[in-house]
Amino acid sequence: MDFDLTEDQEIIRRSAAEFADEVLKPSASRIDANSEFPAENIKAAARLGFLGVLVPEEFGGSGLGHMELAIILEEVNRGCASTGVTLSVHNSLVCSPIVRFGSDAQKKKYLPKLSSGEWLGAYALSEPNAGTDAASISLSARESGSRFVLNGTKTMISSGSKADVVIVMARTGDAPGAKGITAFIVEKGTQGFKPGAKEDKLGIRGSDTSELIFEDCAVPASAILGRRGEGFKIAMSTLDGGRIGIGAQSVGIAQACLDESVRYAKERKQFGQPIASFQAIQWKIAEMGTRIDASRLLVRRAAFLRDADRPHTRESAMAKLFASRTANLCAFEAMQVHGGVGYTKEFAVERLFRDARITEIYEGTTEVQNIVISRKLLE
Amino acid sequence: MTSGREKGGIHSGGQPGLSQPAHGVYNPPLPAGKPIGPGRVWRFLSMEIAVLVKQVPDTAEVKIDPKTGTLIREGVEGVVNPEDLNAVEAALVLKARHGGCVTVLTMGPPQAREALLETLAMGADRAVHLTDKAFAGADTLATSYTLGKAVEKLGPFDLVICGRQAIDGDTAQIGPQVAEYLGIPQATYVQEIEIRDGVLRAVRRLDAGTETIETPLPALVTVLGSLNSPRLPTVPGIIDACSSKDRLSVMNAADIGARAEKTGLRGSPTVVWKTETPKSERRCEMLKGSPAVQAQALAAILKKRNLS
ipTM score of the complex? 0.71
Query: Comparing B34 with A354, which gets the higher pLDDT?
Result: A354
In a domain, B27, yes or no: no
Q: Which residues pair with B52 in a beta bridge?
A: B105, B162
| pLDDT at res. B137 | 83
The catalytic position among A68, A315, A350, A363 is A363
In a domain, B11, yes or no: no
Look at chain A and count its residues: 379
In a domain, B4, yes or no: no
Q: How far is CA A305 from CA A270, A315, A375, in A?
A: 47, 8, 19
Burial class (CB in 10 A: 0-12, 13-18, 19+), A145: exposed
Contact B235 A68 (CB under 8 A): yes
On the question of pLDDT at A200 being above 50, the answer is yes
Query: Comparing A202 with A2, which gets the higher pLDDT?
Result: A202
User: B128-185, pLDDT tens digit by residue?
Assistant: 999 998 888 888 888 999 999 999 999 889 999 999 988 887 788 899 999 999 999 9
Look at chain B and count its residues: 308
Give yes or no: A333 in active site: no
Minimal-distance CA residue of chain A relative to B118 = A11
Q: What percent of chain A has pLDDT over 90?
A: 95
Rounded distance, CA A212 to CA A194, Å?
Answer: 6
| pLDDT at res. B34 | 32
| A65 vs B contacts (CB less than 8 Å) | none
In a domain, B138, yes or no: yes
Question: B135 is in which domain, residue-wise?
Answer: 47-282
Select, from the ranges A314-323, B28-37, B205-214, B249-258, the one with the highest average predicted confidence (pLDDT).
A314-323
User: A7-23, pLDDT tens digit by residue?
Assistant: 889 999 999 999 999 99
Residue A60 touches chain B, beta carbons under 8 Å:
no
In a domain, B306, yes or no: no
Minimal-distance CA residue of chain A relative to B234 = A48
Residue A62 touches chain B, beta carbons under 8 Å:
yes
| pLDDT at res. B217 | 87
Residue A11 touches chain B, beta carbons under 8 Å:
yes
> For B21-36, what is the mean pLDDT?
35
Spell out the domains of chain A, with CATH numbers in brackets. 7-120 (1.10.540.10), 122-229 (2.40.110.10), 232-378 (1.20.140.10)
Say which amino acid occupies A161: S
What total of structural domains would you count in chain B?
A: 1
Where residue A47 falls among pLDDT bands split at 50, 70, 90?
Answer: very high
Rounded distance, CA B218 to CA B154, Å?
Answer: 14
On the question of pLDDT at A374 being above 80, the answer is yes
| B242 vs A contacts (CB less than 8 Å) | 7-8, 11
Smallest CA–CA distance, residue A21 to chain B, in Å, is 12
Q: How far is CA A93 from CA A108, A122, A132, A282, A292, in A?
A: 18, 7, 17, 39, 24
| pLDDT at res. B62 | 61
| pLDDT at res. B41 | 37
What mean pLDDT value characterizes chain A? 96
Q: How far is CA B250 from CA A259, A370, B10, B120, in A?
A: 38, 52, 40, 14
| pLDDT at res. B71 | 67
On the question of pLDDT at B14 being above 70, the answer is no
> For A298-325, what is the mean pLDDT?
97
| pLDDT at res. B196 | 82
Assign residue B163 the CATH number of its domain: 3.40.50.620
Q: Tell me if B230 sits within 8 A of B81, measured CB to CB.
A: no
On the question of pLDDT at A30 being above 80, the answer is yes
Count of CB atoms situated within 10 Å of the CB of A347: 19
On the question of pLDDT at B201 being above 50, the answer is yes
Rounded distance, CA A91 to CA B259, Å?
Answer: 54
Query: Comparing B55 with A285, which gets the higher pLDDT?
Result: A285
